[in-house]
A and B are shown apart, each in its own frame.
Chain A
Amino acid sequence: MSDLPLLIHRVEPKRLATVLGAIFVGGAILVATSSVAFSAPQWSPQSSERLIKLPPSYLEKSIEHDFARSELGTAIHDSEENISLKGNTLADLQKAIETADSDVRGELRHQFLSEKRNYLAMMSERNDLRRKHLMTKRRLFDDMLSRLSAEEGEMTPEKEELIELQKAASERFESSLAKVDQRLFEAPELEESKYSKQYAQNKTAIEQLVARIDNHKMNQTAMSDNGVPLTRVEHVRRMVADVQTELAVLDQEETILGYMAKLVALDGMALAEEGLDEELLDSDVAQTNLTPAKNVSFFLNN
């Protein structure tokens, strides 16, 4: 027989029950944690053809609007509101400590410390959500970049050659247009064709509309800081860089939160030490009477 059943037999029933109970509680905690992870607020933007084709000025606003309406966006908004309220509470407590008497002051300092701990927990939670937001945004931009690269990759040398040929043909065609018309209408009995007439009419309308579209503010190309127009890929890359910057700032903020947490812990220890000192001071036993030399008189006289 293996050792394991023997071990089980040897364990006292009370201890076995405790171990099994601990395993059950551990399992329950694990399940609860994972369900919390599943129910964590989400934002799942999709990189679509439509999104890539959006005008640069509208693209960022569209993404931010989608985020603001998502569960994650709402959670961050709520969290920031709560942090703001907590900040007010901390400020009030700080003021109250300055003016309080010594007894109440101790109580308030404990409360202040506890509120600071809560404030840090809330800040940390908000930062986790912000990180999730930024990471999702970066993934979205990466997807967009790969889509845009795929579109660029469609340009084969053969296709490039064809486009060049079409460009050359178009230039030759435009330059010969007047000459062709002149030759065509050399014969006085020939009048302009139906297509030519209607094309001329429509062309005027099209030119007006195109001019309006070109000047439309939503159709403006994105510009760099020094006024150089950016391509779509460059614009998305710039947004990726912005997200990266925000992530770096977030890392720095987390370092600050870490130092704040350390200070709270040190303050807590200081408060605890002060409490111990007070207890010692309150003791009825005089420490000086405990030395043997001070009590020699008890033994010298009967």
Chain B
Amino acid sequence: MKPQFFALACASVIAFSATAHAGTLENLERERAMTINTFMDASLSVDERQAKLDSQRRRLVDLERIVMRDESLRGQNTKTVRIAFQNYDVTFLGHASAEKGHTMFDHWLSQFDVSTDSLMATRVGRR
């Protein structure tokens, strides 16, 4: 094969792989990971975190609605889809937290049996 053809073929493969679409659920998972990252980001001040979380909540809610209305996910028996729907409160964090009247952070922690009160009751110690 001539080097030019080989280069062209490689370029085509790269171009096609670049245009591959992520699924709606994958996009939601990505946005949620970024939101959780914001929860944990120690470099942010309280106001900065709040502002960032407000904006992320809007995007998260939109993406959750997109996932919930995505007909292609109906009965799509893959591991990702199964886990996503088995854990509604974690997957649809924006909706579930608003439904329960919690902040997203509190709701997320409550899914792992951790509450603000229990966190506040902890103390730093040596094991």
* Cross-chain contact of B98 among A163, A176, A190 (Cβ < 8 A): A176
Q: Is the CB of B98 within 8 A of A195?
A: no
Q: Is the CB of B77 within 8 A of A180?
A: no
* Cross-chain contact of A166 among B57, B65, B75, B98 (Cβ < 8 A): B75
Within 8 Å CB of A226, what residues of B? Answer: none
- Nearest B residue to A164 via CB reads B85
Q: Is the CB of A159 within 8 A of B75?
A: yes
* Cross-chain contact of A179 among B54, B86, B99 (Cβ < 8 A): B99
Dominant SS among interface residues on chain B = helix
Q: Is the CB of B66 within 8 A of A166?
A: no
Within 8 Å CB of B99, what residues of A? Answer: 172, 176, 179-180
Q: Is the CB of A193 within 8 A of B85?
A: no
Q: Is the CB of B54 within 8 A of A172?
A: no
Within 8 Å CB of A190, what residues of B? Answer: 54, 58
Dominant SS among interface residues on chain A = helix
Interfacial residues of chain A within 166-224, with CB under 8 A of chain B in the complex = 166, 168-170, 172-173, 176-177, 179-180, 183-184, 187, 190, 193, 195-196, 199
B32 contacts chain A at the CB level, 8 A cutoff: no
Within 8 Å CB of B81, what residues of A? Answer: 162
Interface string of B55-97 (1 = CB under 8 A from A): 0011101101110110001111100011001101000101110
- Nearest A residue to B99 via CB reads A176
For the complex, give the distance between the alpha carbons of A180 and B95 in Å.
Answer: 6
- Nearest A residue to B94 via CB reads A180
Interface string of B98-113 (1 = CB under 8 A from A): 1101000000000000
Q: Is the CB of A180 within 8 A of B85?
A: no
For the complex, give the distance between the alpha carbons of A223 and B92 in Å.
Answer: 41
A165 contacts chain B at the CB level, 8 A cutoff: yes
A158 contacts chain B at the CB level, 8 A cutoff: yes
* Cross-chain contact of B68 among A163, A170, A179 (Cβ < 8 A): A170
Number of A residues contacting the other chain (C-beta, 8 Å)?
A: 24
Q: Is the CB of A180 within 8 A of B61?
A: yes
Known: A183-B98, A195-B66. A169 touches B77 (CB 8 A): no
**Nearest CB of chain B from residue A84's CB, rounded to whole Å:** 54
**Nearest CB of chain B from residue A204's CB, rounded to whole Å:** 15
Q: Is the CB of B94 within 8 A of A162?
A: no
Within 8 Å CB of A195, what residues of B? Answer: 62, 65-66
For the complex, give the distance between the alpha carbons of A267 and B94 in Å.
Answer: 93
- Nearest A residue to B69 via CB reads A199
12 additional A-B residue pairs with CB within 8 Å, beyond A166-B74, A173-B92: A162-B81, A166-B73, A169-B88, A169-B92, A173-B95, A176-B98, A179-B99, A180-B95, A180-B99, A183-B98, A184-B61, A193-B62
Q: Which residues of A contact B (CB under 8 A)?
A: 156, 158-159, 162-163, 165-166, 168-170, 172-173, 176-177, 179-180, 183-184, 187, 190, 193, 195-196, 199
What would 24 A/B residue contacts be, using CB atoms closer than 8 Å?
Answer: A156-B77, A159-B77, A165-B82, A165-B85, A166-B73, A166-B74, A166-B85, A168-B88, A169-B68, A169-B88, A169-B92, A170-B68, A172-B99, A173-B92, A176-B99, A179-B98, A180-B98, A184-B61, A184-B98, A193-B58, A195-B62, A195-B66, A196-B62, A196-B65
